[in-house]
Structure formats: structure tokens, C-alpha cells
Structure 1
Amino acid sequence: MPADTVTVRPAVEADAPVIPAFIRELAVFENEPDAVKATEADLRRDGWGERPVFEAMIAELDGAPVGFALTFRNYSTWEGRHGIFVEDLYVRPEARRHGVGRRLLAAVARRAVEQGCRRMDLNVLDWNPARGFYAALGFRHLEEWLPYRLTGDALGVLAAAE
């Protein structure tokens, strides 16, 4: 294979061992090395089990896996259509500057268009230098929307409330 050949393909169950490695590397990059609880078994169940809840794309550089994008569907009541949320996008440092991230997002965008999606969403940490990359692709920072999350004990307390 010629040098610097980037390919992107849908992940298959045989990719299940490499995806948690990418997730852990991303967590280290995001300064949360101990936050990952997902296991290979979780990913097999939720990506290729009876009711898949996510899809993933694998990027390869010269035949070796170097990145991934993990997505799931969301729904817009305003659009009246589903969209795709990019939960994770990660490219190993040695593969950056080869167009891998752009190719991964282009593949996700193609899948979104093929599936009739009206939008593609993702979150980016405020300090992440990739913000410029996303902006250059046409992603718009939604300053007026603030993410909120309920987890742990607070989730249990609300679930128990009447």
C-alpha cells in the first residue's frame, strides 16, 4: 500500500477490542484517564447486540487502525427528523495531519445524509485546539445552548422522586 493511505470503514464486531483502547486514549487526552467504565463487552452488546444503540467508523492509515468516530441517533422535534450525534472522535497523535479526522467526519456526514438526517451534532471541550478544525469544516459553536448532565447519586434521587 502506498504511504499515507487513509481509509474509513464501518466498524465491525471484530473491531470491538480496538475501540476501548481509542476511548481510553481519548480520555487521557481529555484529562480524565480514570473516567472510562465502558468495557469491550459493553461495546459488543451495544454496538452489535440485539438492539444496537451506536454505530462506529474506523479510520486506518496504511492499513493500521488510527482513529474512530462513535455516533448515535438523536431526534429534533423542530426538524421532525433524526440526526446523528458524534459522541467520540479520536485520531492517534501520530496519524494527525494526514486528513484522518476530516475523512472520519466526512464518512459520518455521508451516513447522515444517506439516512435522511437533518443535522450532525458534537461537543468539544472549551480548551481543545480541535475547535478550529470543526469550525473550518462548517460546524457552528452554539453559544446559547449549555449542556447539562445528571449522573450518579443525583440521577438516583431524581429517579426515586414522585
Structure 2
Amino acid sequence: MPTVTIRPAVEADCATILRFVRELAEFEHEADAVKATEEDFRRDGWGEQPVFEALIAELDGAPVGFALTFRNFSTWEGRPGLYVEDLYVTPDARRYGVGRKLLAAVAQRAVERGYRRVDLNVLDWNPARGFYDRVGFRQMKEWLPYRLTGDALSALAAEGDAEA
């Protein structure tokens, strides 16, 4: 049985993270939607004010997956949480428990920091939904995700008070 290790990502992993993001986007039928660059990851993960953290999963020393998270905040809990923006494991490595180990490492970080929850979104057609159920995640049926982006974001921003 191959050895699975989970480690914090380092700046030298930016190319690997970008490769995994592109593979995930391809899986989600959105290959052309990825605009991120290695420099974006370098700046926002290891720059002056990092806005995300990542974990790299390795199988016998070779990178096979990652989890990218950032801190959020629950006003009801009065505590931060972690949001899993991306969790990806290469298809050949999925049978070795890599995804579960990545999520366990994310959960461990949350608990060690006194955070009260871990959140993520899953596409409705993604077969990984069963995996998330087995791990203990629960779908929040009443909460619907909304997003503001592109021209709509710019238009609303133009209405804002510059002093806000």
C-alpha cells in the first residue's frame, strides 16, 4: 500500500497548485474559466498578507492532490471557520484515502485554532457528494449560494460611497 502524506504547501508548490486547479476545472467542465496564474498564488498565499493556505497530498512522495482553504467567520458561532475553496485528488490516487486525509488535516487545523466549522460547496452532479456525506458533511438545503461577479460587481461597486 502506498504511503499517503499531507503537508503544508510551500511557495515552490505554486505550479503544482495551478496544475491541480486546472485539472479540477476540467473535471467540472469549466477548463476555460481558470484565469489564475502561479504569480497569483504566490502573491496571495505567500505575499505580505496571505489570504489562503493550502495542503499538498503526496503518494509515495509525489503530489497527487491538494486542499486550498481560507478563514471565514460565523456571527452566530462568534468564531472563525475554514472554507474549503478547492479539494482535488488525481483520479489514480482516489482509492488510497487521500481525500479523507486531506479533509482530516483541514479539520485538525480548524480544531487546533478553535474554529467551529468547515464549509465547502459541491456541484449537484459531483459523485464526491457521497464521499462528503460519509465523512460527516451535511448539505445545507435551505441555504443557497449566491455570487456577484464581472459586470454586475462593477456596476454595484459604482453605486457605492467612496468613503465606505
Please report the TM-score for the alignment, with normalisation by the length of structure 2.
0.96
Distance 2:79 2:90 in 1: 33
Match of 1:53 in 2: 51
1:16 to 11, 14, 17: 14
Distance 2:8 2:114 in 1: 18
For structure 1, the residue ranges without an aligned partner over 5 or more in a row are none
1:117 to 115, 118, 131: 115
Distance 1:17 1:126 in 2: 29
1:87 Cα deviation (Å)?
A: 0.2
Distance 1:112 1:37 in 2: 29
1:82 Cα deviation (Å)?
A: 0.2
Distance 1:135 1:34 in 2: 30
Match of 2:70 in 1: 72
Match of 1:28 in 2: 26
| 1:103-114 equivalent positions in 2, closer than 5 A | 103-114=101-112
**Quick one: percent identity of the two aligned structures?**
76
Q: Which residue identity does 2:91 align to in structure 1?
A: P
1:89 to 72, 87, 90: 87
Deviations 1:1-55 (A, max 9, x none): xx41000000011111100000000000000000001100000000000000000
Q: Does 1:37 align with 2:5?
A: no
Deviations 1:117-161 (A, max 9, x none): 000000000000000000001100000000000110000110011
What secondary structure sits across from 2:105 in the alignment? helix
Please report the TM-score for the alignment, with normalisation by the length of structure 1.
0.97
Deviations 1:104-129 (A, max 9, x none): 00000000111110000000000000
What secondary structure sits across from 1:157 in the alignment? helix
1:153 to 113, 134, 151: 151
What secondary structure sits across from 1:41 in the alignment? helix
- 4+ residue runs over 2 A deviation: none
Corresponding residue pairs, total: 160
